[in-house]
A = this chain, B = another copy of it.
């Protein structure tokens, strides 16, 4: 047992990464911001992973190293000149760091490669298009000249989706293309350029009366963990789902229309609520991950912003099975849906109770009194939204369902604690990595029938690795099933060993009956499993569309979606 009273101050790195360092490429979010694991988490990790106090005082070597040299751009000067002429000089760059920067995402593999001093693929040219017309001209030029294009939104891809593995152009959409193109309060839609990021998008809608001359305030209803550093275009291209998707829907549900520039032309779909005019065209572009074209406009559903109606709840259940019974009933009960619903498995629950400060409080005494034991008990937290009476009704029904399964009501406090860290937790990753601890996630979608085999199979595989934490939750609910989100934490041997372990998890997800991804997308990370997952007929369709949109394979080439 680790002594609880001795304060331990790990040698956290607090300086912003130096310009030109590896850290500048992989650090999450705001370069100047850090969020250290608190004392409780440090002690918990120390105990479970077996770190000595001394190890917490020695950050891993190389964490702040400068990049020695970056190979020069290989793009012919004439191409650089022609493409630069399209966007105008300040919006094109062949500077070394720039060419790396927009091609690095946030996958564990990329981060560990950078920490090991391995250079990631570099683009030859970075372009910051100013508007749709720039994109059309760039795509046409690159198609003619056979130059790869790698679209980049917020840069938060965890699937190596941005990686310019064949050089060419990194096309950065967030620099200029973040305008509102159309707002219709009547239709409850907004059309924006793809480079608009989460906080600006949401703030604009929340402030609609002032900034959009609307009668009401609105919300986009889309809050992925990457919210602060992801863009609307990225949400659509990678088919994301936010933490409130149970009420608002996944990105696939939220897209009303879109415009995509591909080498074969510009596909623009209509802003209509529904239609029966052949297969749904917007569905082909949603989830195409830049492999078919570049999104230049996206029309999304918006919702009334009514935070005053919100109700929070949390429950703790005796075991996973009863908790799953409760969330299934919540999903299928037809009494309306909660916005947030998040069920933690026993290991995540015990961690959360520690981190959310429940341990040692009257809440913990209550939990003990009810005989809900560590290692078995499961925490459910959530929120209801919408019109006031609906939010109240859904809240009331959820309480009824949970009580029927023996759930003990813990009130709204744990939800507020979770809300507090919901977007900033990724900052802690650098701190853990600095001490040789990896933390990574994989997620999958499961029908209710597959929930148990996937949960047990994948968790069993992860826990078969010694001294490895596996925190699991389900956080996106549908009448037909849910997702499972596995967070695994351990000490790093080699990158090769990590890859093997990671691949083993993906394979276990697949063979147990989960989808390859619920909301992270495929990118290059999961591409090797796509043929086995979709089968030849499914892959054949994706390839036929690729051939149609991008016959010369210039759009995000080199593995995306398993296409080449």
Contacts and interface: CB of A to CB of B under 8 A. Distances in A.
A475 interface: no
Contact of A250 (B272, B274, B535, B541): B274
A189 interface: yes
B267 A538 contact: yes
A285 interface: yes
A393 B389 contact: yes
B289 A515 contact: no
A62 interface: no
A188 B275 contact: no
Contact of A390 (B336, B482, B536): B336
Given A186-B448, A281-B534, A390-B334, A274 B241 contact: yes
Contact of A480 (B189, B281, B288, B482): B189
Contacts of A272: 445-447, 480-481, 515
A113 interface: no
B184 A275 contact: no
Interface in A268-285: 268-281, 283-285
Interface residues of A, number: 91
A304 interface: yes
Contacts of A16: none
A390 B389 CA distance: 10
A106 interface: no
Interface string A180-224: 000010111100000000000000000000000000000000000
Given A252-B280, A276-B287, A286-B279, A301 B186 contact: no
A564 to B, nearest CB: 13
A533 B537 CA distance: 29
Interface in A56-114: none
A329 to B, nearest CB: 11
- Count copies of this chain in the complex: 2
A540 B274 contact: no
B250 A483 contact: no
A479 interface: yes
A537 B273 contact: no
B537 A268 contact: yes
A160 B96 CA distance: 61
Nearest to A387: B335
A265 B536 contact: yes
Interface string A314-345: 00000000000000100011111000000000
Nearest to A265: B537
Given A278-B530, A519-B276, A540 B264 contact: yes
A548 B542 contact: no
Contact of A482 (B273, B334, B386, B533): B273
Contacts of A530: 277-278
A30 interface: no
Contacts of A479: 188, 273, 301, 303
B517 A276 contact: yes
A521 interface: yes
Nearest to A542: B278
A480 B389 contact: no
A480 B518 contact: no
A354 B168 CA distance: 70
A363 interface: no
A478 interface: yes
A332 B285 CA distance: 27
A389 to B, nearest CB: 6
Interface string A503-532: 000000000000111111110001000100
28 contacts: A184-B449, A186-B448, A187-B447, A187-B480, A240-B276, A252-B274, A265-B537, A272-B515, A275-B517, A275-B518, A276-B515, A276-B520, A277-B515, A278-B289, A278-B522, A279-B283, A279-B284, A279-B285, A281-B534, A281-B538, A283-B284, A335-B386, A335-B389, A335-B390, A387-B397, A393-B393, A541-B548, A544-B547
Given A188-B332, A272-B480, A544-B548, 7 more contacts: A265-B536, A269-B538, A274-B515, A280-B280, A281-B538, A389-B397, A540-B548
Pairs A-B, 8 closest by C-beta atoms:
A544-B548, A273-B481, A283-B283, A273-B478, A275-B515, A335-B387, A239-B276, A334-B386
Interface of A: 184, 186-189, 238-241, 250, 252, 256, 264-281, 283-289, 292, 301, 303-304, 306, 328, 332-336, 386-387, 389-390, 393, 396-397, 445-449, 476, 478-483, 515-522, 526, 530, 533-538, 540-542, 544-545, 547-548, 561
